[in-house]
Structure 1
Amino acid sequence: MIFIIREPATSEQISQMAETYFGLMIKLAVDVEREILAGGGELHADCEQALLEDGSQQENVWGADWYPELKRVGFESLINIRPRQQNRGIEIQSPVIREKIEVIVRRLLEVN
């Protein structure tokens, strides 16, 4: 189940988003401009599509993962391959974009 998260997620939302990967991981697309995310799809591209349909601009949407048990953000996704934005691999290269994603993901998904 894909959720677009604008405010801190509930424990139930996080559990539902994590179901696809047995509670271990949530695939995400994060809009670094609007500071929202979509999570819970089987593919990062599914989450990306949900944000695009919600009005996000593709150049602002990056793929990431959230590991709820480890409280760790991952920065690898096929949707991150975009040479025109100087990102030639699956891992986000820009420290500025990585930091923005880390802050957004933790604000919206890190349940204490």
Structure 2
Amino acid sequence: MEIKIVKDQPVTRNELKEIAAQAQWEAVKAVVDIEQEIMAIGGVMHAEEEVQLMEVMSSKRDHTWGVNLYPGRWGDTFVEFDSMVNLKVWLGNRTRSVESEEIRLRIKTIIQKLVSD
């Protein structure tokens, strides 16, 4: 699958559903750069999306966080904070989740801007 960087033009839930269907998954993997307020979608693994953001958009590892987007869900179940790229011991994040509530809120706010219904 082709990795797409979402920045100026929001992606729709229908587009997310198509990406999920192509991958034969319920969710779409995404990596959000909380500094630039952009995200990468469409990868098989969060790590390849993170690398794409670093190479194309000069994202820094400290600012990239992996999530799963469930286009068929609403509210708090739309975004799942679970990715190996979230293991950032030097920032105090010792799990696959995003432990900082402040960072979680930033991610959700960015996703709200970058995903339209």
- Alignment CA distance shift 1:91-1:46 (3 Å): same
Instruction: Say whether 1:78 aligns with 2:84.
Output: yes
Cα distance in 2 for residues equivalent to 1:68 and 1:11: 5
Structure 1 runs (4+) greater than 3 angstroms displaced? 10-13
CA-atom RMSD in angstroms: 1.5
2:66 counterpart residue number? 63
- Structure 1 residue 91 and structure 2 residue 92: aligned? no
After TM superposition, list the pairs within 5 Å mapping 1:1-112 onto structure 2: 1-6=2-7, 7-10=9-12, 13-18=15-20, 19-22=22-25, 24-54=26-56, 55-71=58-74, 72-109=78-115, 111-112=116-117
User: CA–CA distance in 2 between the matches of 1:8 and 1:21?
Assistant: 23
Give the TM-score normalised by structure 2: 0.86
Contact kept in structure 2, 1:66 and 1:105, CA below 8 Å:
no
Structure-1 separation of matches of 2:38 and 2:11: 11
Say whether the 8 Å CA contact 2:66–2:86 is kept in structure 1: yes
Do 2:28 and 2:42's aligned partners in 1 also have CA atoms closer than 8 Å?
A: yes
Conservation of the 8 A alpha-carbon contact between 1:4 and 1:37 = yes
Unpaired runs of 5+ in structure 2?
A: none
Structure 1 unaligned regions, length at least 5? none
Deviation at 1:9, TM superposition (A): 1.3
Structure 2: distance between partners of 1:66 and 1:81: 19
1:2-61 deviation digits (Å, cap 9, x = unpaired): 100002114664244322144x21101100000000011111101101101121111100
